[in-house]
Amino acid sequence: MKYCSTCGNPIPDDAAFCGNCGTPVPQAQAADGATSFCRACGRKIPAAAPSCPYCGVPTLPVGGPQQPAGPQKRPAARRRKTGLIIAIVAVVVVVLGVLTVGGLLAARLFASPVTKFFSYNAELLSDRVMPLLDTVGDRLDQDQFSSDMTLTGSVDNSAISSYLDNSAITLKTDLDDGSLLLNGEVELLGSSVLNATVTYEDGTLGLYLPELDQNYYVADLSQLIFNITGQRIDLEGLGLPDISTDEIMEVLKPYGEALIELVNEDSITKEKNVSFSLGALPFSGKCTVYTFSPRAEEYRAMLLKLADLLENDTNLQELIQKVSQSTSLLTELYTGADYLPYRFSQMTTQAANDLRTNADSYARYLEQSRASWSVAVEGGQVRQVKLSAYDSYYGSDSGIVYEAVGDGKSELNEVIYFLEDGSNETILTNRQTMSGKETSGTLNIYFDYSDYASINYDMTKDKTSRLGIPYGTFSLWTTEGSPTFSLTVQDGAAGGTDHILSISNAAPMFDYAFSSLNVTLNTTDKTSAKAPDIAPVDVTNYSDDQIEEIAERIASRLESDLISNLGPLLYDW
**Residues 6+ away with beta carbon under 8 Å from 33:** none
Contacts of residue 10, defined as CB under 8 A and 6 or more positions apart, other chains included, come to 1, 2, 3, 4
Alpha-carbon distances of 292 from 117, 289, 388, rounded to whole Å: 8, 10, 11
Instruction: List the domain boundaries for the chain.
Output: 1-61
Per-residue confidence in pLDDT tens, the chain, 573 aa: 565 655 555 666 655 555 555 555 554 444 445 555 454 444 556 666 666 665 555 554 433 333 333 333 334 433 434 444 444 444 444 444 444 444 433 333 344 565 666 566 666 655 555 444 444 444 444 457 899 999 999 999 888 888 888 899 999 999 886 788 999 998 888 888 889 999 998 888 999 999 889 999 999 888 887 887 777 766 654 555 555 556 676 777 777 677 666 666 777 888 999 999 998 999 999 999 998 888 888 888 888 888 888 888 777 777 776 666 555 444 444 444 455 566 767 788 888 889 899 989 988 888 888 888 889 999 888 899 998 888 777 777 788 899 999 987 899 999 999 887 777 888 899 999 999 889 999 999 887 666 788 899 999 978 889 988 899 999 988 776 688 899 999 999 889 999 999 999 888 888 888 899 999 999 999 999 999 999 999 999 988 888 889 999 988 888 776 666 555 544 544
Strand, helix or coil for residue 163: helix
Radius of gyration (Cα) for the chain, nearest Å? 30
Model pTM?
Answer: 0.65
Strands 216-220 vs 204-208: parallel, antiparallel or unpaired: antiparallel
475, β-bridge pairs: 456, 486
